[in-house]
């Protein structure tokens, strides 16, 4: 069946200056790209006057370092080292190679094998914005010639919102280790920087792009560029709308997440009538915000219709309360009144305004549909500070550490745990499937307004104080020592 909003349709199943020189890079595709998991090149000396160094990491796990040197001290054995950092800022030594012997003309060529461990060390050091440099010679041999490596080829490009980077970058790096492939991970602050990051990765000859869009609709332009360059596009967590250049989506069952939030409110309302309901939503440019709200609305609406809940903070929602399902434009009209932009400050301001306008009867015990944990904590704080509010049932999403503590302390009632380790694993698996000439298995499709995008939907878990131990501690996502207080099953 096709939902009323875009989203889902199931079908089942030179000479150096002191020690440093500037590197200039030319992007070319590597030879035998099918066996190369990543490649980097450094031009050594000023504008490459002293040759080049090329690293290749193979999908089998090993790799190679090819040196083609010129203009060096003649008939001399020169040390060769690779370090973190740049030519201007030397970091720690990663690998020391046997010295290379120059000819009487000061030239030398050599291809050295890299062990799997050495290749892994290089890949780990260069993921994201990491830099490495090669140094030929030492002060004992007269001078040091340096070149900083830049990406020549990576098969996978990953673009993450800057707010996601800290957690997801490490997860992607861990997931990539077992594949033999390498990726470059870039971050975006907004739509413009996201598009620039995608264009940079296309220039580095990526074959697969994993993109978490800042704006579900605006990201179509970046996806179109990638598709035109023959790059497979995987939407990570959020659907990219209105383009045929999306090959796969890895996400969670977003309507089910919203339904779980609504179910928590319904269960705690019980048989009582006239319960005060405050609705809040995510960012209107995020397609997931619509899907979460859709799932929550369709679960809550019968209980609104029978008088269990009374909507207190959206006149549009009140007008539409007789509709079991809402069209996309109707959802947009409601969300325009209740959006938090996924931002704590926005949520606080909105809630303060809602409570300032609310009569005494609209306070007391309140039921708050908070779209995620960041906004849940903000909303809970505002409602708790209002003297007219005696009890607040607050939903959440993402199992953020601060919100888990809030649940333990009784300030937030629940969260929905969407394990990001599963999403990252499946996104990397999908990328590998594309790289190896296949296609990832899809269990559903999502209608993005142009095509039905093959997708896999991951499970989520409702977390309350009662199952923190089993859902979050026993699963290895958090440690018990991350939290204070007590909860059922705590060691």
User: With 0-12 CB in 10 A as exposed, 13-18 as middle and 19+ as buried, what is 491?
Assistant: exposed
Q: Write the pLDDT tens digit of every residue in 161-183.
A: 998 867 898 899 889 888 878 88
The count of C-alpha atoms lying within 13 angstroms of the C-alpha of 489, restricted to the half-sphere facing its C-beta, is 13
Residue with tokens 């940079």: 200
The C-alpha atoms of residue 290 and residue 4 are separated, in whole angstroms, by 11
Q: Write the pLDDT tens digit of every residue in 258-276.
A: 999 999 999 999 999 999 9
Q: Which of 124, 120, 118, 122 is nearest to 133 (CA)?
A: 122
pTM above the 0.85 mark?
no
CATH, range 154-246+421-458: 3.40.50.2300
pLDDT at 11: 34
Q: Strand 77-85 relative to strand 90-101: parallel, antiparallel, unpaired? A: antiparallel
CB 373 within 8 Å of CB 402: yes
Q: Strand 132-136 relative to strand 90-101: parallel, antiparallel, unpaired? A: unpaired
Name the segment(s) of the chain with CATH classification 3.40.50.2300. Answer: 154-246+421-458, 254-418+461-482
The C-alpha atoms of residue 158 and residue 198 are separated, in whole angstroms, by 8
CB 375 within 8 Å of CB 343: yes
CATH, range 33-151: 2.60.40.200
Name the segment(s) of the chain with CATH classification 2.60.40.200. Answer: 33-151
Q: Write the pLDDT tens digit of every residue in 45-70.
A: 999 999 999 999 888 889 999 999 99
CATH number (3.40.50.2300, 3.30.420.40, 3.40.50.960, 1.25.10.10) of 254-418+461-482 reads 3.40.50.2300
Q: Write the pLDDT tens digit of every residue in 69-124.
A: 999 999 999 999 999 999 999 899 999 999 999 999 999 999 999 999 999 899 88
Joined together, the tokens standing for residue 371 give 């779209």
Lowest pLDDT segment from 168-172, 363-367, 397-401? 168-172
Joined together, the tokens standing for residue 66 give 């090819």
Residue with tokens 């960041």: 374
The C-alpha atoms of residue 490 and residue 80 are separated, in whole angstroms, by 53
Residues 6+ apart with CB under 8 A from 71: 14, 45, 49, 50, 51, 106, 107
Residue with tokens 């939407």: 235
Q: Write the pLDDT tens digit of every residue in 266-324.
A: 999 999 999 999 999 999 999 999 999 999 999 999 999 999 999 999 999 999 999 99
Q: Which DSSP string corresponds to 288-338?
A: HHHHHHHHHHHHHHHHHHTTSEEE-S-HHHHHTTT-SS--HHHHHHHHHHH
The C-alpha atoms of residue 136 and residue 158 are separated, in whole angstroms, by 32
The C-alpha atoms of residue 391 and residue 373 are separated, in whole angstroms, by 18
The C-alpha atoms of residue 423 and residue 427 are separated, in whole angstroms, by 6
Cα distances (angstroms) measured from residue 343 to each of 44, 240, 371, 384? 47, 21, 10, 19
pLDDT at 177: 83
Cα distances (angstroms) measured from residue 106 to each of 12, 70, 74, 286, 369? 66, 6, 4, 59, 72
pLDDT at 129: 61
pLDDT at 130: 73
- 479-487, Cβ contacts within 8 angstroms, sequence gap of 24 or more: 482/401, 482/404, 483/401, 483/404, 483/405, 483/408, 484/405, 484/408, 485/405, 485/408, 485/409, 486/408, 487/408
pLDDT at 16: 31
The C-alpha atoms of residue 363 and residue 461 are separated, in whole angstroms, by 30
The C-alpha atoms of residue 13 and residue 160 are separated, in whole angstroms, by 29
Average pLDDT estimate for 396-407: 97
CB 127 within 8 Å of CB 182: yes
Q: Write the pLDDT tens digit of every residue in 383-396.
A: 999 999 999 999 99
Residue 253 has pLDDT above 50, yes or no: yes
Q: Write the pLDDT tens digit of every residue in 415-469.
A: 999 999 999 999 999 999 999 999 999 999 999 999 999 999 999 999 999 999 9
The C-alpha atoms of residue 363 and residue 386 are separated, in whole angstroms, by 9
pLDDT at 163: 84
């Amino acid at each position: 069946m096709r939902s009323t909003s875009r989203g889902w349709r199931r079908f089942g199943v030179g000479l150096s200056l002191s020690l440093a020189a500037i590197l200039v890079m030319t992007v070319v595709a590597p030879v035998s790209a099918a066996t190369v998991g990543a490649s980097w090149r450094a031009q050594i000396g000023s504008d490459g006057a002293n040759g080049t160094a090329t690293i290749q990491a193979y999908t089998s796990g090993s790799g190679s370092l090819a040196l083609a040197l010129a203009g060096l001290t003649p008939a001399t054995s020169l040390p060769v080292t690779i370090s973190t950092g740049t030519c201007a800022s030397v970091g720690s030594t990663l690998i020391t190679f046997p010295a290379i012997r120059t000819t009487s003309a000061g030239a030398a060529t050599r291809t050295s094998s890299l062990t799997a461990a050495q290749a892994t060390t290089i890949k780990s050091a260069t993921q994201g914005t990491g830099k490495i440099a090669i140094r030929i010679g030492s002060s004992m041999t007269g001078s040091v010639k340096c070149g900083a490596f830049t990406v020549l080829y990576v098969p996978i490009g990953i673009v993450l919102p800057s707010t996601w980077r800290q957690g997801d970058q490490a997860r992607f790096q861990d997931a990539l280790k077992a594949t033999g492939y390498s990726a470059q991970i870039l971050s975006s602050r907004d739509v413009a920087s996201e598009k620039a990051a995608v264009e940079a990765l296309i220039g580095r000859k990526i074959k697969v792009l994993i993109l978490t869009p800042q704006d579900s609709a605006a990201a179509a332009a970046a996806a179109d560029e990638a598709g035109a360059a023959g790059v497979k596009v995987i939407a990570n967590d959020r659907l990219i709308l209105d383009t045929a250049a999306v090959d796969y989506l890895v996400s969670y069952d977003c309507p089910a997440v919203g339904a779980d939030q609504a179910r928590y409110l319904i269960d705690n309302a019980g048989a009582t009538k006239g319960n005060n309901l405050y609705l809040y939503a995510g960012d209107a440019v995020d397609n997931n915000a619509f899907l979460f709200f859709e799932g929550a609305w369709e679960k809550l609406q019968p209980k609104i219709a029978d008088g269990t809940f009374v909507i207190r903070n959206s006149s549009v929602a009140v007008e539409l309360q007789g509709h079991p399902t809402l069209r996309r434009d109707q959802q947009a009209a409601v969300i325009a009144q209740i959006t938090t932009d996924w931002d704590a400050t926005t949520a606080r301001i909105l809630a303060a305004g809602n409570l300032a306008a609310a009569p005494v009867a609209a306070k007391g015990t309140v039921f708050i549909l908070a779209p995620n944990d960041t906004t849940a904590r903000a909303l809970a704080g505002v409602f708790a500070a209002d003297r007219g509010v005696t009890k607040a049932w607050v939903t959440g999403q993402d199992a953020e550490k601060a919100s888990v503590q809030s649940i333990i302390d009784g300030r937030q009632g629940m969260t929905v745990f969407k394990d990001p380790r599963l999403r990252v694993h499946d996104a990397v698996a999908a990328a590998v499937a594309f790289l190896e000439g296949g296609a990832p298995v899809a269990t559903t499709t999502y209608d993005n307004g142009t095509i039905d995008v093959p997708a896999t939907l991951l499970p989520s878990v409702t977390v309350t104080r009662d199952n923190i131990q089993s859902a979050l501690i026993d699963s290895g996502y958090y440690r018990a020592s991350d939290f204070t207080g007590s909860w059922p099953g705590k060691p």
